[in-house]
Amino acid sequence: MTTFKDLGLSPAIQQALDELGYVEPSPIQEEAIPEMLAGHDVIGQAQTGTGKTAAFGLPMLQYLDPDNNEVQAIVLTPTRELCIQVTQALRSYAEHLDIEIVAVFGGAPIRSQQSQLRSGAHVVVATVGRMMDLMSRRSLVLTAARFVVLDEADEMLDLGFIEDVEKILRMCPSGRQTALFSATMPPPIKKLAEGYMYDPVTVRITPKTLTVDAIQQAFVEVPAREKAAKLVEILKLEEPEQAIIFTRTKIGASRLERTLKDKGLDVKALHGDMSQGSRDGVMIAFKDHRVNLLVATDIAARGLDVEHVTHVINFDVPNSSETYVHRIGRTGRVGRTGRAITFVTPDERDEIGRIERDVNTSIGEWESPEERLEHAPRPRRRERSREREKREPEAEEQGPSKESKDEAKPEAPSAEDGAKKTTKLFVNRGERSGIEEEDLRWALREGAVLPDEAVHDVRVLHRFSFVEVDPDQAERTVEYLDGTKLKGKEIRLEVAKS
């Protein structure tokens, strides 16, 4: 077993890692750190969340000279959210080093960032646009930047920043060490690496399991010209609480947003041609549930974490299985199930098979909610009732069994009786769907055949509801009611996560 202590990091960095509780490096860290400590250029292909910041940050910090106040290292990021995140991580790793790390990004006063740079910065973590602005004002000089990192390079490509990235690289010393990290490697990123990196070592980390277990997946085969109309139809039938609709291009996202708005749907777009302020506004509105539908390019797959996204729709087929997993992972959050629907044209039909093989999953043809209910396994209550009916005459003839006698004995009161334990169930419908408390009580009584005393609390909120039932009734309640209809709306039930 490899530990961070085996990687050859300095005592000051190791002390910070010990304090942070870092013991075992992740696969990308285990492979990339020794290569970077050896001075090699590195291409790291791995998903977000695999520990890339430490993979490039620790070797970079090790080689900085605290006595030299020039900018010795730069980290380019596509968004200010990632810029802030990387800066926080680097500062925690440099806790015991005399190193200044400065973040510069759009949407913040440029003068205060200029002042920070004048005070001295060994490392600058920057968004591409703000770095270009500071360089044009001569507030940032890169002649001593011998360590350069491009983080989330494919997202920079999606945002249209690659030409600016090339300009920045040309302003850095030719003898620099360069690291490029990207979840995917589209041709323009490969070309960038070939043009600006020296004999790079490639570290490719594929997740052991691309997990999509909690997500119901389906595909829709439809001619390209009919996709928008089919999408409107599916949205009306699926009635998502919130959905992200992924497109391949920025133009496609804008066009689809207009089409859906023309059909009267509540929708916003999120893509790289928007200003940072506009993107922030859309993301906040979506997170606050003021917008139900978000049409987005893959930029949203990395930074957006919204709890109640019930559906992800791939309006355009993702360019890789990793991107597919990344996209649909926006739903099925906090233990809840989610739905992922992928549109394919007849020419793209084979893409579904490729994804199924890569992800080891099954993607069936899309069915409407009514069809899904029709094909779903029937609750076993009717079978149980018939079995009870068969057993009851026999029981009457033979007299009560030992088990039934035991059940009839009153239990000794316990200390917990005063505060009886219950199981809380999450229901995906609330006031917004026209559901009231009495509707849920009726469903529990008639649909799940629960006695009134087994139902302890029903709380109807705006978008969803909670019910509390006896623990031994929770499983049957979910089994009987999940996927049924209440007031014409399909309801989903599951045990609420604490």
User: Which of 390 and 228 is assigned the larger pLDDT?
Assistant: 228
pLDDT for 43 equals 95
Cβ neighbourhood burial of 153 (10 Å; 0-12, 13-18, 19+): buried
pLDDT at 390 over 80: no
Specify the amino acid at residue 242: Q
Q: Taking 90 as the threshold, does the pLDDT of residue 65 lie above it?
A: yes
Residue from 94, 125, 97, 93 nearest 25 by CA: 93
Mean pLDDT confidence for 56-67 = 94
CATH of 215-369, one of 3.40.30.10, 3.40.50.150, 3.40.50.1000, 3.40.50.300: 3.40.50.300
The pLDDT, as a whole number, for residue 396 is 43
Nearest to 295 by CA among 276, 311, 307: 311
CA distance 78 to 157: 9
pLDDT, tens digit (0-9, with 9 covering 90-100), for 270-288: 887 787 778 878 888 888 8
**Residue 184 and residue 322 in contact, taking contact as beta carbons nearer than 8 Å:** yes
Least confident of 164-173, 215-224, 352-361, 488-497: 488-497
**pTM to 2 decimal places:** 0.51
Q: Please, are residues 376 and 483 in contact by the beta-carbon 8 Å criterion?
A: yes
Give the per-residue pLDDT at 402. 39
Q: What is the pLDDT of residue 324?
A: 86
> Residues 201, 322: contact at Cβ < 8 Å?
no
Residue 66 has pLDDT above 80, yes or no: yes
* Residue 331 and residue 338 in contact, taking contact as beta carbons nearer than 8 Å: yes
Token pair of 126 as six digits = 């920057």
Per-residue pLDDT at 208 exceeds 60 = no
Same fold, 4-204 and 215-369: yes
Count CB atoms within 10 A of the CB of residue 189: 21
pLDDT at position 173:
92
Q: How far apart are CA 204 and CA 427, in angstroms?
A: 41
pLDDT, tens digit (0-9, with 9 covering 90-100), for 404-429: 334 333 333 333 344 568 898 888 88
Q: Which two tokens stand for residue 366?
A: 């899309």
Quickly name the fold that domain 4-204 has. Answer: Rossmann fold (3.40.50)
pLDDT at 370 over 90: no
Q: Which residue has the tokens 């920070």?
A: 116
CA–CA dist 311, 303 (Å, integer): 17
Least confident of 20-29, 183-192, 205-214: 205-214
- Tokens 């910041």 appear where? 53
Q: Would strands 338-344 and 215-221 be described as parallel, antiparallel, or unpaired?
A: parallel
What is the token pair recorded at 82? 């990632």
* More confident: 202 or 271: 202
Do the beta carbons of residue 261 and residue 293 sit within 8 Å? no
Q: For the beta carbon of residue 484, count every other beta carbon within 10 angstroms.
A: 17
Name the DSSP class of 42: E
Rg (CA), the chain: 28
Please report the pLDDT score of residue 91 as a whole number.
Answer: 92
User: Which one, of 25, 24, 20, lies nearest residue 96 by Cα?
Assistant: 20
- pLDDT on residue 90: 93
φ, ψ dihedrals at 245, nearest 5°: -110, 115
Report in angstroms the alpha-carbon separations of 425 from 64, 171, 458, 488: 54, 58, 10, 21
106-110, 281-285, 377-381, 403-407: which has the minimum mean pLDDT? 403-407
Residue 262 has pLDDT above 80, yes or no: yes
Contacts with 333 (C-beta within 8 Å, 6 or more apart), sequence order: 305, 306, 307, 308, 309
Tell me which of 452 and 31 has the higher pLDDT: 31
Tokens 């993607």 — which residue? 363
Write down the mean pLDDT value for the chain: 82
**For the chain, domain boundaries:** 4-204, 215-369, 420-498
User: Please, which residues have CB within 8 angstroms of residue 213's CB and are 6 or more apart in sequence?
Assistant: none
pLDDT for 58 equals: 95
Q: Is 74 in contact with 131 (CB distance < 8 Å)?
A: yes
Q: Is the pLDDT of residue 398 over 50?
A: no
Q: At residue 342, what is the residue type?
A: T
CATH 3.30.70.330 fits 420-498, yes or no: yes
Model pLDDT for residues 155-179, shown as the tens digit of each residue: 888 778 899 999 999 999 988 999 9
CA distance 242 to 292: 5
Instruction: Compute the 3-state secondary structure of the chain and give helix, strand, coil in percent, each to the nearest 5.
Output: 45, 15, 35
